[in-house]
Amino acid sequence: MSVQSHLIILLYFLSISRECFCKNIRSIPLFGENFVQSHEDEFMESSDMNFATLTDVNSQRAIHTIINKSLNERLLLLICDHVCHEEREEIPKVVREFSKDLGIRKTNSLHFHFLLKKEKIPHYNIETFVGNSSMSLLYFIGEKAYPYKGSLDSKKDIYQFLMDREQRNMRKLKTYEDLDQFLSSINNDMDSNFYTLYLNFKNYKKCGPFGINSFENAVKSTDLKDVKPIKMEVEETKEILVIIEMRLSQVKYKECPTLLLIHNGKYKEIPLIFSPRIIRKFIEYAVDNYYEIEDTWTKIGEPLTYIQLQYLVDEHNIQDLQYNKKFIAAAVIGGFAILLLGFSIFWALNGA
């Protein structure tokens, strides 16, 4: 298959509603050119989209729950071929205890769902994971399933399973110095690793459809040893904005959560419009085919000297003052006051 054929399949724009995948697909400039969607999307397992294969209402509801809850949050799915009352009561208690211990907020919840299995479910490899077992527990993140292989009677083992999945190592950057140093340390051809740099800007109201945690879910569900996840909660200080503008000049979405894939001193921004599954598949594809697509990536800018950084920060501060509404209003009022003073002096002299 040609490079262009591989690239075409990246552009399936997946928009999720509560009832179905949105069928309004648009062309996206992912590699600097617009590619149209292919008829057969290799990034989507056909069985996962074929809801017609399911006849049981509970099975259909479970699949929709996986879609809705694992995109931006996470889901623990208990599957039994009988009612299994005890497990249905005890496992949610473990989930609540775990969520409380880790301080998991409602905006990023870990959900529980029970499915009484009455038919084979090919979606998300569920049938493969369940097999002939009468009870199975699956953890879903970014529409990807991870099976629990321990005893369902052991609360301790279930708790540890959740801890292993939730607390995946993700290096965190805190200051502009951290960001600058990180970009400098990987800005060379010697480092063979790929890095996902997750810049979590805070202006959520203007952002895309998949929510504030979907990028993180995509990264956490990418199981490649050569991909190192990095996260930064971006406090929009002038120093950080200058570093991003000068060293990551092609970053377009500076108000929304942004994901950059970095390798060999070059980076590619992954648009917020994609679902976690598509992001994960793009990362996997880029790792396998980097040298075929590297000419579409942007080189990281050179580090700034202290004097350059301070000069650009001061420029930002001056621009803020120029466009500050309070200062503009004060200038207008001051201008009127000077005019009135001039007229009053003129009239006074004219009267004299």
pLDDT tens track for 55-81: 889 999 999 999 889 888 899 999 999
Helix 155-166 vs helix 85-102: crossing angle, to nearest 10: 50
Give the Å distances, CA to CA, from 134 to 81, 131, 156.
5, 9, 21
For residue 195, count other CB atoms closer than 10 A to its CB.
20
pLDDT at 332: 59
What is the model's pLDDT at position 297? 93
Ranges in the chain annotated CATH 3.40.30.10: 43-166, 171-304
| Locus of tokens 């321990």 | 150
38 pLDDT more than 90: no
> Is 324's pLDDT higher than 60?
no
Residue 83 identity: V
- Say if CB 116 and CB 58 are below 8 A apart: yes
**Rg of the chain (C-alpha set):** 26
Of 248, 313, 289, 310, nearest in space to 10 by CA = 289
Q: Which helix (H) or strand (E) element contains residue 292? A: helix 276-293
Beta strand ranges found along the chain (DSSP E):
74-80, 110-116, 135-141, 144-147, 171-173, 194-200, 227-233, 258-263, 266-270, 298-299
Q: What is the pLDDT averaged over residues 144-154?
A: 94
d(C-alpha 268, C-alpha 134), whole Å: 45
Any idea which of 23-37, 95-109, 194-208 has the lowest mean pLDDT?
23-37
Answer for the pair 70, 217: CB distance below 8 angstroms, yes or no. yes
Report the DSSP beta bridge partners of residue 139. 76, 146
**Residues of the chain with pLDDT > 90: what percent?**
35
Q: Is the pLDDT of residue 3 over 50?
A: no
Interhelix angle 176-185/238-247, rounded to 10 degrees, is 20
- We find that the CATH architecture of domain 43-166 is 3-Layer(aba) Sandwich (3.40)
Average pLDDT over residues 16-32: 38
Residues 6 or more apart whose Cβ sits within 8 Å of residue 281: 10, 43
List Cα–Cα distances, 281 to 10, 54, 79, 285, in angstroms: 8, 26, 27, 6
- Residues 328-345, mean pLDDT to the nearest whole number: 64
Q: What does the mean pLDDT of the chain come to? A: 79
Q: Kindly report the pTM of this predicted structure.
A: 0.72
212 — pLDDT class (breaks 50, 70, 90)? low
Q: Which amino acid type is present at position 35? A: F
Q: What would the mean pLDDT of 43-55 be, rounded to a whole number?
A: 59
Overall average pLDDT of the 10-32 stretch: 38
Report the SS3 class of residue 349: helix
> Higher confidence at residue 182 or residue 46?
182
Average pLDDT rounded to a whole number, residues 134-162 = 94
Task: Write out pLDDT tens, residues 87-122.
Answer: 999 999 999 999 999 888 877 889 999 999 999 888
Question: What's the pLDDT at 321?
Answer: 66
Model confidence band, residue 342 (pLDDT cutoffs 50, 70, 90): low
Superfamily (CATH) of domain 171-304:
Glutaredoxin (3.40.30.10)
Going across the sheet that includes 110-116, the strands are 110-116, 74-80, 135-141, 144-147
Range of lowest pLDDT (128-142, 205-219, 240-254): 205-219
